[in-house]
Structure formats: C-alpha cells, structure tokens
Amino acid sequence: MTSLIRELLADESGATAIEYGLIAALVSVAAIGALTALGGSLRGIFGAASASVDAAVKTAAETSGGLPSGGEQDTGSGGGFYGLGPDGNIIHID
C-alpha cells in the first residue's frame, strides 16, 4: 500500500497533460484576441476605401455634366438609368 502511494505521488504524467491543456488554452485566447483586433483594423481599412470610392464616383458624376451618381434613375431625359460601364465611365442605360 505504501509503495502504491509513493508511485502515485511520483507519477507526473497527469501534470504534463494539464500543462499542455493550459498552454493550448493560452494560445487559443491569444489567437482570439489577435483576430478580434485584426477584424477591427480591417473594418476600418475597408470603410475608408469604400468612402474614397463613393467620393470618387460622386465627383465623377458632378464633373461630367451633373449626371446622377451610378444607379440613380434619370427622370429628366425620358427615363433610364445612369451607371458605371466596364471601363469605369458613367453611361446611360435605357
């Protein structure tokens, strides 16, 4: 009986498994934190890019004869829509 207790006290295999579990949990928490921070950064980058594109389209529409911006209905010249063509120019679509 005494030898069994000594064996159990000397056995460290369970402690190693617990250590690996703690390391895995720490790595998971760090990964979640990094991905959360990166997500906010990407949201800001794409938001700024979207605002720049919107401003460029509005400027292009205003400087090319006051056309409505892409996708708006043309109510003054017999119907249709204005949009962006494949080359990026504003075109009239009947």
The range of the structural domain enclosing residue 31 comes to 2-63
Q: What is the DSSP string of 10-68?
A: H--HHHHHHHHHHHHHHHHHHHHHHHHHHHHHHHHHHHHHHHHHHHHHHHHHHHTTSPP
Residues 24 and 51 in one domain: yes
Task: Kindly report, residue by residue over 35-92, the tens digit of the pLDDT.
Answer: 888 887 888 888 888 888 888 888 877 776 555 544 554 455 555 666 777 776 777 6
Residues 59 and 75 in one domain: no
Give the separation between CA 54 and CA 62, rounded to whole angstroms. 12
Side-chain half-sphere of 42: how many Cα atoms within 13 Å?
A: 6
Tally the domains of the chain: 2
Task: Kindly report, residue by residue over 5-35, the tens digit of the pLDDT.
Answer: 888 777 777 778 888 889 999 999 999 999 8
Residues 80 and 39 in one domain: no
The pTM is what? 0.37
